[in-house]
Amino acid sequence: MKDDLAALKIDRTQKPRQFGRRPRLPRWWIVLLIVAIAAIGGWMFFDANKAIEIEAAPVTMFYPSQAATVLNATGFVVAQRKAAVASKATGRLIWLGVVEGSVVKQGEVIAQLENADVGATLEQTRANVKLAEANLEQARAEFKDAQSALARSRSLVKDGAISRAEHDTAEARFAKAKAAISSAQA
């Protein structure tokens, strides 16, 4: 039995076996692996942020009319005639029917000004003309009445029916009516 018990004794001279564990890598391999991963990551980061180089090329527009062009020259264009355009009245521009360089004909409407104030002035002027015509008609009627009163006064003064002062008043009224007609006609 002693032999049996000795067989059960643990031998401490042997290294214990480790099951399920891999053998350990040396530390310098781990450091090398970390440095390699950091280098690859840094290279990818800086390469991704690097500006993409492109080649710039000039772009031109091509029109079908250029296909038939034999000669192309640069220079200045000078107008044969310059025209200055002005309005008789002042106002704000409502509509402009031309652009610089447009060809226009004589009498063609090229712009329209706001005309509310000019229209009001026109209406006021028409009203003033009607008032002047009415004043002229009134002066003519007064002249006719003064003329007939003067004729009557002359015959009555000859007969002695009225005084000389009344006749002078009729003459003054006639002269005043004549002056009123001249003033209304002016």
Please write the tens of the pLDDT for every residue from 17-66. Answer: 666 566 566 778 888 999 999 999 888 887 776 777 788 888 877 777 77
Cα–Cα distances in Å, from 95 out to 112, 116, 133? 5, 14, 37
Residue-averaged pLDDT of the chain: 83
Tell me what the mean pLDDT of segment 114-143 comes to: 91
Tell me what the mean pLDDT of segment 143-154 comes to: 92
Query: Residues 145-168, buried b or exposed e (16+ Cβ, 10 A)?
Result: ebeebbeebeeebeeeebeeeebe
Instruction: Check residues 55 and 4 and name the one with the higher pLDDT.
Output: 55
Instruction: Check residues 171 and 117 and name the one with the higher pLDDT.
Output: 171
pLDDT value for 186: 79
pLDDT value for 107: 87
Percent of the chain with pLDDT over 70: 86
Cα–Cα distances in Å, from 186 out to 13, 17, 125, 129? 150, 141, 15, 12
25-29, 64-68, 82-86, 167-171, range with greatest mean pLDDT: 167-171
Q: Give the separation between CA 136 and CA 142, rounded to whole angstroms.
A: 10
Q: 36 by DSSP, 3-state: which?
A: helix
